Structure 1
Amino acid sequence: MRFGMGWNAVRIASAMVAVALGASACGSEQPVAAAALPPEPVIDLSTLDVGNHPTAPREYGTVKNMQQAKIIEAERMANFIPLTSEIDPRFKFGHKVSLNSRVFFDPKHSNLGDAIKLDKFAEVAPDFVTGFASGGTTDQEIQGIDLMNVVMVFPDEQKAAEMAVALELSDRSYNDQNVPVEIPKYPAAKAHWVPTTQSIGSWFATGKLVIYSWVYDYLRIAAEVVDQNELLTLVQKSLDVVVPAMAKFTPTPVDQLMNLQMDIDGVLGRTLPRIDEELNTNPPGVYTGLAGLHFSASPGTSRPEWEAAGVDRYAQDQARVYRARDRAAALRLFEQQAQLNKTVRSAAAPKNLPQAKCWEYVGKDKWVIRFYCAVSYDRYTALVSSQQLLDAQQRISAQYALLTTAK
């Protein structure tokens, strides 16, 4: 287990999500009645400034290579992984490390190294297929407790059982202060901690999966206070929720991975594709139900709003697209995107797209993306961000065109 966090490298993506989605638990209490809605505005798409961004929906079909296959398999699995707020309501904020890289298909290029020692991961676990990290924290200012669950897929149950042992040993060997410890309700779990540090890592095999659970308590560590029972209780509580949830997920046989479909219901196809990587640390993907909350800065408080809106699909690429129950619910989500305050002020809407909204972050945090724009059409709400207002306006204009021309 490693200790110490290099936070600046991950704050940009985290802050972007915080500004863009942090207000999603606010807004009017009553949904807009469908009968009261005015008709969709008629927009001449030829008059929109879309820059170099595409405006035609895409059809993805099956994956094109094994890397794509592993990404899609990780995204499929994410639909079954519980949010940390479901494990314990205290963990209502998104965990910044795992927000930066939740899809975990190549250990050599993962940002999970602060929680797992990955230097020898490929060597120790050559049969690793893919994984997904779900994390949460009790405090956005890194003054609480972090909880992360990384679920990893292996070809079969024997490999998973072997890798839980091997990976824990490799991780434990990184620090000569690490001491093995047993999780009372899960004697098969392999875990360790440093007796002077309020943190623990646990590896548990279930079926073809290995669940890595990690707890890091900033306040107790700063106060030099340790409580092993508290750590064991939290890991056990986490496994009590995650293990039965993952039993509902059926991993794709390795020899069938290349048959996976990249899109669900064409939602990714109507999501603005990225033309550069910028801060898009997670690969493009589409998720079912509430799994998109894995990427939210405040999943615990956002969930009731998503449920009220009937969000059943979430896609992210250059834009974030939410499919709601109906047009009224989508408009409700749209209105919740920008809650103005002393650090967020209104910005100009795109030319010839007055129903879109844009806003600007004017706070002092240099890591936060400056401009955001959102728009709604039919059942869909979309959100984009950029460091330049014109670029954000062009992106949301192109995204609007995608939504209106998709079948």
Structure 2
Amino acid sequence: MRVTRGVCAALAAALLTTVVAACGTGDDNPTATDLPVDLATLDVGGYATQPREVGVVANMDQARFVEAQRLGDVVPAPFDIDSRFVNPSPFMASVFIDPEASLGKIMAVDRFAEIAPDFIGGFVSSAQTEPDNMGMDMVNAIMIFPDAQQATAAATALEQLDFGYAPNNQPIEIPGYPAAKAHWQPDQQSIGSWYATGHLVIYTWFFDYLKIWLNKVDKQVLLDLVRKSLDTIVPSVAKFTPTPTGQLMTLQRDREGMLGRTASRPREDSWIEPPGVYAGHTSIHFSSGPVERKAMIEDNGVDLYTNDGADVYRARDIAGAQAVRDTLGGLTRKFTTVESPKNLPSARCKEYIGKERLAIRFYCAVSYDRYAAYVWSHQLLDVQQRIAAQYALLVNAA
């Protein structure tokens, strides 16, 4: 199996979206700063303020992405598998149709298209026990195939390809999952497993940087972790209903108008993840603070989440949306408050003052009705214009 790693600088912004504790007003009465706003007085720059109609997918690549996003709604977060895995792994996309983009650093993919034909799309769930490769990594990549037969064949073929990548790889059996195809490196605390279940292949990878640095190996620990991971993931992904291959081009890109009321992503922004709509809890996968994000989602009844040129959350009520806004716009020691846009005092804006040199500098959050939105930019005026335009979008979509 492959063990080389790289960190994608374009994900630096995602690492700064850690949420902080906050609370709502406890009722549906707007606070003094949430009084009606005259949209005509807002400086929105050149950003759109009218909702858009987002229909069916335009091509097969879009269809494959949407199918993978649907899968993401049933993939457990790493800390739901093991509570130690709470630090993000910033080197791979979560939604992918190109295996190289998400798996190329940890498994052999040079012949992926040849040995796993008709691959549709996948969703990666990953985390570390410690930041900066100081602990253990967990990766679960769930891949969709047209049918169970092709998934089973792909699991076998992909394991065989990866097995040949390192001469010291040895086959190993996962307790409780005799059908899993797996191998490990006896001189390293590393293991890879491929398990087919229905139309899906679950690729599980653990890599312990600390034990490798200490020249320690514990095979049983690796086996127990893979089994624990599969015990959590297999029943969860069983809830996924694959779209028949012939119907992929009928998939809708939007859900309940969420993407239509979310700002479009400018070309100059990062495109690590494609625009998409998810169940609220799925946003945990995209957060650098998964435990706090889970609390925010559950405490405020967030049922839908979308990411594009903004992150937009739909809460159970107005108070819930305001609490989400205050959480996203809240401060930690790495942020300081900056001024809200003119004539939009309810927006919460902040500046990053930490040491991450690739970090995006400015962030703003706002809410309207049941919706809360979060935007970012390297420039203060731009982030103010973005949040003002996003606020107008929410109002105009009501």
Rounded Cα–Cα distance in structure 2 between residues aligned with 1:368 and 1:253 = 41
1:368 pairs with 2:359: yes
Rounded Cα–Cα distance in structure 2 between residues aligned with 1:201 and 1:164 = 11
Q: Offset at 1:97?
A: 2.4
Rounded Cα–Cα distance in structure 2 between residues aligned with 1:56 and 1:208 = 40
Q: Within 5 A, what are the aligned runs for 1:3-402?
A: 3-7=3-7, 9-10=8-9, 12-13=10-11, 15-20=12-17, 22-24=18-20, 26-28=21-23, 31-38=24-31, 40-98=34-92, 101-108=93-100, 110-402=101-393
Most deviating of 249-258 and 269-278: 269-278
Does structure 2 conserve the Cα–Cα contact (< 8 Å) formed by 1:309 and 1:332? yes
Deviations 1:166-203 (A, max 9, x none): 01111111222222111121111011111111111100
Q: Offset at 1:270?
A: 0.5
Rounded Cα–Cα distance in structure 1 between residues aligned with 2:29 and 2:265 = 36
Q: Offset at 1:4?
A: 2.6
Does structure 2 conserve the Cα–Cα contact (< 8 Å) formed by 1:201 and 1:214? yes
Does structure 2 conserve the Cα–Cα contact (< 8 Å) formed by 1:93 and 1:300? no
Does structure 2 conserve the Cα–Cα contact (< 8 Å) formed by 1:289 and 1:311? yes
Q: Offset at 1:277?
A: 4.6
Q: Offset at 1:107?
A: 2.4
Most deviating of 332-341 and 129-138: 332-341
Does structure 1 conserve the Cα–Cα contact (< 8 Å) formed by 2:19 and 2:292? no
What secondary structure does 2:117 align onto? coil
Letter in structure 2 aligned against 1:315: T
What secondary structure does 2:173 align onto? strand
Letter in structure 2 aligned against 1:76: R
What secondary structure does 1:400 align onto? helix
Rounded Cα–Cα distance in structure 2 between residues aligned with 1:95 and 1:311 = 24
Rounded Cα–Cα distance in structure 1 between residues aligned with 2:60 and 2:356 = 39
What secondary structure does 1:381 align onto? strand
Rounded Cα–Cα distance in structure 2 between residues aligned with 1:112 and 1:361 = 31
Q: 1:277 to 1:287 in 2, by over 3 A?
A: farther
The residue aligned with 1:2 is: 2
What secondary structure does 2:306 align onto? strand
Q: TM-score, normalised by structure 1?
A: 0.94
Deviations 1:11-58 (A, max 9, x none): x41x423322x134x124xx4221543484222212222122111111
Q: TM-score, normalised by structure 2?
A: 0.96
Does structure 1 conserve the Cα–Cα contact (< 8 Å) formed by 2:363 and 2:376? yes
Rounded Cα–Cα distance in structure 2 between residues aligned with 1:299 and 1:216 = 21
Does structure 2 conserve the Cα–Cα contact (< 8 Å) formed by 1:370 and 1:387? yes
Rounded Cα–Cα distance in structure 2 between residues aligned with 1:210 and 1:18 = 28
Q: Offset at 1:351?
A: 2.1
Letter in structure 2 aligned against 1:95: S
What secondary structure does 1:385 align onto? strand
Does structure 2 conserve the Cα–Cα contact (< 8 Å) formed by 1:89 and 1:300? no
Q: 1:399 to 1:36 in 2, by over 3 A?
A: closer
What secondary structure does 1:133 align onto? strand
Letter in structure 2 aligned against 1:77: L
- Structure 1: runs of 5 or more not aligned: none
Q: 1:45 to 1:36 in 2, by over 3 A?
A: closer
Rounded Cα–Cα distance in structure 1 between residues aligned with 2:268 and 2:126 = 23
Q: Offset at 1:92?
A: 2.2
Q: Offset at 1:142?
A: 2.4
Q: Offset at 1:123?
A: 1.8
Letter in structure 2 aligned against 1:4: T
- Percent of aligned pairs with the same residue? 49
Rounded Cα–Cα distance in structure 1 between residues aligned with 2:186 and 2:207 = 13
Letter in structure 2 aligned against 1:226: V
Q: 1:42 to 1:35 in 2, by over 3 A?
A: closer
What secondary structure does 1:61 align onto? coil
What secondary structure does 2:62 align onto? helix
Letter in structure 2 aligned against 1:338: G
Letter in structure 2 aligned against 1:344: F
Rounded Cα–Cα distance in structure 1 between residues aligned with 2:86 and 2:354 = 23
Rounded Cα–Cα distance in structure 1 between residues aligned with 2:216 and 2:329 = 40
Rounded Cα–Cα distance in structure 1 between residues aligned with 2:355 and 2:117 = 44
Q: 1:277 to 1:208 in 2, by over 3 A?
A: farther
What secondary structure does 1:336 align onto? helix
Deviations 1:135-185 (A, max 9, x none): 122123321211111010111111111000001111111222222111121
What secondary structure does 2:331 align onto? coil
Rounded Cα–Cα distance in structure 2 between residues aligned with 1:181 and 1:350 = 58
